[in-house]
Structure 1
Amino acid sequence: MTLEIEITNKTFILHNTGALYWTDKKMLLLSDVHLGKVSHFRKHGSAIPNNAILQNFKKLDAVVKHFEPESICFLGDLFHSSLNKEWILFEQWVNNTGIPLILIAGNHDIISPHKYEELNIAIHSEWILDGFLLTHHPENREGFFNLSGHVHPAVRLQGLGRQFLRLPCFFRNKNQMILPAFGEFTGTYIIEPLEGDIIYITTKEEVIKL
């Protein structure tokens, strides 16, 4: 379910849901949850079961219960669209969780910052913390290790015969790590790792370093 790694002498734990836990800070980092996406697509005629709305919240509850973090940082694209009925569920989740929340705004985060401020959620365009640069879009900035999302990274692995598996992954190189999308209803983007890059694939049961 988890894999412990070191980044610049700091300990992090990768979770098979796509969550990243920073042990020193007791902080949970998540990217691309895309709350509201199910309601958005249902509104426009997509045949998605209504109970699918709750799956992201169940996933959030499970990973919070597992790590018991003291804070949660969302690395962008927390909410997929403009306000819809999932915002009410999000408000309830925030109030029930009772953990300080930080949002690094992403391209899908178009809801007014005031709505987040009403929930005591801190919003930043980026956040520098102990030599780490937290952003939504990947950045390569000298002197910092970048933690980001946005890409929804995945790799394509060959299985038996001509079968191929498409698996989400954490992508890491010398100066950055890109988290997989945490949301249940998100696509993936196949990346082609270069020499020296590190891939940690996520399955339903575990995290595996390739």
Structure 2
Amino acid sequence: MTKTLTLYNQNFILHPSGAMFWEEEDILVISDVHLGKMSHFRKFGSAVPQQAVKGNFQKMDSVIAFFAPQKIVFLGDLFHSSMNKEWLMFETWLKNIPAEVILVEGNHDIISPLKYEALGVRITSEIVLHNFLFTHHPEERSGLFNFSGHIHPGVRINGLGRQQLKLSCFFKSKDQLILPAFGEFTGKYILIPQGDDEVYVVTKEEVICLND
């Protein structure tokens, strides 16, 4: 089950995968996939199952099939590190994607832009469209609502007794929405809502507004 936010008369659909779809512009927004991270861990001896390496691609396929967007915007940290075998998987994956792909550069995007451009991926530092600013790091800019990533936002939910859950979330403040990390094994940075902040936690099946 998804949740829809209406901002400046535009509709943004929050998906349980952590992706967001801008309905009027037919744009799918994904942040912090960190391709290559699991292969990087495997290289140095971490016990990451091979099937998990394919998980990010399968997850992207699923959300792309759900929305069938004309454009896909990655809000930085698409690839975690220098090139490894997951880059070859990315090349193969991209051949089957009919949408235009744009990468807003993040701090982990150290692979040469020429490599992306050779695959038809457009690289940019930010996108400004209508009243909206798309960046990797959260920013505040007068007159614009900012969509970003980088933080890997999460919240801590306390249950009965001493039970606690740490869940990824979309974290909305007055002029900003921080998307959760899309990739597997990316971790979470726990944020504490203040005032009118809105928290939309993601589970495998749905997006839940904690403010409700």
Q: Same fold (TM over 0.5)?
A: yes
Aligned to 1:120: 120
Aligned to 1:32: 32
Aligned to 1:153: 153
SS of equivalent to 2:90: helix
SS of equivalent to 2:96: helix
Letter of the structure 1 residue corresponding to residue 78 of structure 2: L
Q: Percent of pairs identical after alignment?
A: 59
Q: CA offset at residue 98 of structure 1?
A: 2.0
SS of equivalent to 1:72: strand
What CA distance in whole angstroms lies between the structure 2 residues aligned with 1:61 and 1:204?
15
Write the deviation string for residues 38-70 of structure 1: whole angstroms up to 9, x where unpaired.
Answer: 111111111111221100000000000001111
Letter of the structure 1 residue corresponding to residue 72 of structure 2: I
Letter of the structure 2 residue corresponding to residue 61 of structure 1: D
Structure 1: 5+ residue stretches without partners? none
Aligned to 1:14: 14
Runs of 4+ in 1 over 3 A off after TM superposition: none
Letter of the structure 1 residue corresponding to residue 24 of structure 2: D
Q: CA offset at residue 7 of structure 1?
A: 1.4
What CA distance in whole angstroms lies between the structure 1 residues aligned with 2:204 and 2:95?
29
What CA distance in whole angstroms lies between the structure 2 residues aligned with 1:4 and 1:125?
27
Q: CA offset at residue 5 of structure 1?
A: 1.5
What CA distance in whole angstroms lies between the structure 1 residues aligned with 2:6 and 2:98?
29
Q: CA offset at residue 145 of structure 1?
A: 0.5
Write the deviation string for residues 2-28 of structure 1: whole angstroms up to 9, x where unpaired.
Answer: 111111221010001100000011100
Structure 2: 5+ residue stretches without partners? none
Aligned length: 210
Q: CA offset at residue 204 of structure 1?
A: 1.2
Letter of the structure 1 residue corresponding to residue 76 of structure 2: G
> Map of 1:132-147 to 2, 5 A cutoff?
132-147=132-147
SS of equivalent to 1:97: coil
Letter of the structure 1 residue corresponding to residue 141 of structure 2: R
What CA distance in whole angstroms lies between the structure 1 residues aligned with 2:171 and 2:85?
33
Aligned to 2:178: 178
SS of equivalent to 1:194: coil
Normalising by structure 1, what TM-score?
0.98
